[in-house]
Chain A
């Protein structure tokens, strides 16, 4: 089994999951045994709610009232949100395709808070909740602080082969 890192930093063409359909063709030919993805979290991060040293804070770009982007964002922020959304949807689509073709997948993202206090994460989205209906797709907690991360734990959805 050969692991392949699809990273824009390593290859501007094949690393762009939005541009190159070679990965899609590889998945559909049932040569992909598994996949792992972590959609970008910077537009979803709860760190935006933290008070900075100068007393200011970044505004949250998504809330439970406007999960796909607040209406009063600047152009740069809207661009950020849309890019985040597109990448998130594309990675979920790839993982779903891998699952469909008999592979396994894992989707990693910071732990959500179940929509409390208006805090929205991808675990609250309808697309992910729908996937979790499948018996062979489960969500688990994974402590990340021992690995050096500042977040205490993250959630990972595992999609396993049903056979």
Chain B
């Protein structure tokens, strides 16, 4: 929402309160102003200077700036409706400015489409493509391409029609021994290992030797038979919704062959470990495997229509990096009668009169 819209809403409420002259509410507003100062509602609502810039000094008296004084509220109470009407003009002006920026965006889009259609290219668009190309991995045996090394590593197992989930060779039951949780079903454990943080993944890879692909395949079939396999038709929702519980000691007994006797830690994997896991297609998320989604706080962009309009023009000027296609030859004109258009748009007063403006 543009900041001007917030100004308008606050000022509208302010003039309404001014007109009603509710003593209790006015007292609350002024008390809040004296206590909170710049953080108060009145301070934020007092965008009189903005309104003045939109409709002119004569329509918004300078005395309105002193609304922290109760006598000013009383003095302007009879003119509250007039001020609200003046605010309506500011709103109409704002809406026109919104339309202005929308028209500019729209024209930019359609102009770009036309230029693309005649073979113009934008310098810089190839850079992104080349960056994307760097991530592509190719299989030496066939022509398939993969977006990262992990996808390439599990490719042989895919070709052998095995299941594609990398961690399935570490999931013997429904227990995550890294975080000591019981997930009720093996597929839910797999989902935890894949979709959760990479810590449990790394812990499993460090502590255990993976089971054989054949054994993992058997367990997959067992899940299918029980109707709990991931993405299986008729997957039991109630099973999916059951919350995990902490696992008891008996459930934490190791069932896979140990790679190391001591307790595995959660430290970052080193290069040799990653290389080792890469061989069997087990790169953890964010370490060459599945790309992780960074949950970062997004800055809230406050739109300011006039500023945004100017910024748009500046960005367009800075972005004139088009490369014309000098080889483009238009198709010949149609045969028969031809026309020459002369567009008169000179006097804007004609456009403002009558219903012509409404067509815009």
Residues of chain A having any CB pair with chain B under 8 Å? 1-9, 12, 15-19, 23, 26-27, 29-40, 42-43, 65-75, 78-87, 89-94, 96-103, 125-127, 129-130, 133-135, 161-163
Judged by a CB distance under 8 angstroms, whether B111 is at the interface is yes
Q: How far is the CB of B359 from chain A (nearest CB, A)?
A: 4
**A69, A90, A99 — most chain B CB neighbours (10 Å):** A69
Contact A33 B345 (CB under 8 A): no
Chain B contacts to A: CB under 8 angstroms: 53-56, 89-90, 92-93, 96-97, 99-101, 103-104, 107-108, 110-111, 114-115, 117-118, 306-307, 309-310, 312-313, 316-317, 319-320, 322, 324, 326, 328-334, 336-348, 350-352, 354, 356-357, 359-360
Residues of chain B with a CB closer than 8 A to A103's CB: 333
Query: What residue in chain B is nearest A42 (Cβ atoms)?
Result: B348
Bound-state Cα–Cα, A30 to B341, Å? 12
The answer to whether B360 and A18 touch across the interface, beta carbons within 8 angstroms, is: yes
Q: In the complex, A69→B104 CA distance in Å?
A: 12
When the two chains form their complex, are residues B329 and A8 in contact, meaning their CB atoms are under 8 A apart? no
Closest to B317 in A: A126
Task: Tell me if B338 and A37 are in contact (CB < 8 A).
Answer: no
Given contacts A3-B339, A100-B114, 11 further A-B contacts (CB under 8 A): A6-B341, A29-B334, A34-B341, A40-B348, A43-B348, A68-B101, A78-B96, A86-B360, A129-B320, A130-B320, A133-B322
Given A86-B103, A100-B117, A31:B55 Cβ within 8 A: no
Task: Please name all residues of chain B whose beta carbon is closer than 8 Å to the beta carbon of A100 when the two chains form the complex.
Answer: 114, 117-118, 330
A–B Cβ pairs within 8 angstroms, 20 of them: A2-B337, A4-B342, A8-B344, A18-B359, A26-B341, A31-B337, A32-B338, A40-B348, A68-B100, A69-B97, A69-B100, A75-B93, A82-B99, A82-B100, A100-B114, A100-B330, A101-B330, A101-B333, A127-B107, A129-B320
From A75, A91, A161, B92 is in contact (CB under 8 Å) with A75
Contact of A12 among B111, B114, B326, B356 (CB under 8 A): B356
Q: Give A3's nearest chain B residue, CB to CB.
A: B340
Q: Of A9, A40, A71, which one neighbours B306 at CB under 8 angstroms?
A: A71
The answer to whether B339 and A26 touch across the interface, beta carbons within 8 angstroms, is yes
Pairs of residues from A and B, 9 with the lowest C-beta to C-beta distance, nearest first? A126-B316, A102-B330, A71-B306, A37-B343, A7-B344, A19-B359, A72-B53, A35-B341, A89-B107
Are B345 and A39 touching (Cβ within 8 A)?
yes
A67 touches B342 (CB 8 A): no
Residues in B neighbouring A82, C-beta threshold 8 A: 96-97, 99-100, 103
Complex CA gap A11/B121 in Å reads 40
Q: Are B334 and A30 in contact (CB under 8 A)?
A: yes
In the assembled complex, the Cα of A40 lies from the Cα of B356 at a distance in Å of 15
Q: Given the known A-B contacts A8-B350, A85-B103, are A91 and B345 also in contact in the complex, defined by CB atoms under 8 Å? A: yes
Q: Which residues of B contact A68 (CB under 8 A)?
A: 100-101, 104, 309-310, 312-313
Known A-B contacts A39-B345, A82-B99, A130-B322; A1 and B310 likewise in contact (beta carbons under 8 Å) = no
Enumerate chain A residues within 8 angstroms of B328, measured Cβ to Cβ: 162
B309 touches A83 (CB 8 A): no
- List B contacts of A102 (CB < 8 A): 330-333
In this complex, what residue of B is CB-closest to A10? B344
Residue of B nearest to A95 (CB): B343
**A69-B309 contact in complex given A5-B344, A31-B336, A81-B100, C-beta closer than 8 Å:** yes
Partner of A130, one of B101, B111, B350: B111
CB atoms of B331 and A30 under 8 A apart: yes
Q: Could you tell me if B334 and A78 are in contact, using CB atoms closer than 8 angstroms?
A: no
Query: Are A69 and B306 neighbours in the complex by a CB distance under 8 Å?
Result: yes
Measured CA separation A83–B353 after assembly (Å): 12
* Chain B residues within an 8 Å CB radius of A96: 111, 114
